[in-house]
Structure 1
Amino acid sequence: MAYNFYQGKFKPDNPSKYMGNVDSIIYRSSWEYKAFKFCDLTKSIVKWASEETIIPYISPVDGRPHRYFMDLKIWFAKQDGTIGIALVEIKPYAQTIPPVKKPGKKTSTFLEEVKTFTINTAKWEAAEALCKREGWSFIKWTERELQPGGKIDAKELQSQKVYEEKMKKAFRKKKSPKVELLTEHLRKKIKGEMGNAG
């Protein structure tokens, strides 16, 4: 992915929850790492897998068949006691909306963005079709879900302030609760979306 900040092997704290080879979980961006950590530590997510679901699709760019490796497949406990299943795409928000030709942007850059969005749209349509057949849900997680403060509105700004204050206090005590705080943030952020899924 072009938006990589870092990559490596992910070591889950709860390996029994992972559906696949637990020694081969690869994160390719900071967002994927945060999403994996959330899946690993959140009790309502009973099982999860990364790039274990492969969806065939036709690229509108070359007209040929390709394979779409889904970022996440999660099994989660719903409020009615049943288990829901969702396929999750992890992408920068800018790649989830149609590109715009802004003044000063190079034509080559704009065309590349259009190409990327067109291919992504074909992938997502294939994923949505699969989910419709299976009774699953298809959702996207961007930095707006995975990064505290991603949305600029009053509630988010207040949440960010509380988060920063907690971090300051924790570091003064020489603790490092980033994962716990991020998990708390994600749980609140995604709870409603998953509660209505499936």
Structure 2
Amino acid sequence: TIDSSMPGGHATLTIDNLRVPADQMLGQAGEGFRYAQVRLSPARLSHCMRWLGCCIRAHEIATDYANRREAFGKPLIEHEGVGFMLAENMIDLKQAELMIDWCAGVLDTGSLGTVESSMGKVAVSEALMSIADRCVQVMGGTGVTDRTIVEQVFREVRAFRIYDGPTEVHKWSLAKKIKRDWKAGLA
């Protein structure tokens, strides 16, 4: 099935008993995992960029809502609870953007950027989930309706935390690197 509800949907395929003649094989036999590693960092980064754009739009919608909607005699934005949530969004959006720029810079050097893309994927996906959640919260009941894309972004950004490796797998991989680096420092 193709998930067409958001940009970058994924296909699920099942292939049984596939045999590829040697003269039609791309690359060398047994090298598929290594080849896949080359595409992982750019794929993680493209997910980060796509979802950053979605969350920027959700934040714009929530900001507009908070400036137009009034409660207790003043616009929602003037209530600290709402204003602070939007301020936190602004901070998280900038941090996500900077993390993406940093990782892209590493990839631009020709490096595989495996560690950097893992760090970026974790930081950006977690931040964007928080941003989407705050956008829904700011908008209250409207935030969970189909009157804007905010609900859809919130619902769909949750899966982003799983694409190209869930947060916990990236943290596990990073912890293994920390241990390797520590052992190398002892030698």
Structure with the higher fraction of residues in helix conformation = 2
Greater share of strand residues, 1 or 2? 1
**Superposition TM-score, scaled by structure 1 size:** 0.26
TM-score for both structures, normalised by structure 2: 0.27
Larger-gyration structure (1/2): 2
Select the structure with the greater relative contact order (CA < 8 A; seq sep ≥ 6).
2
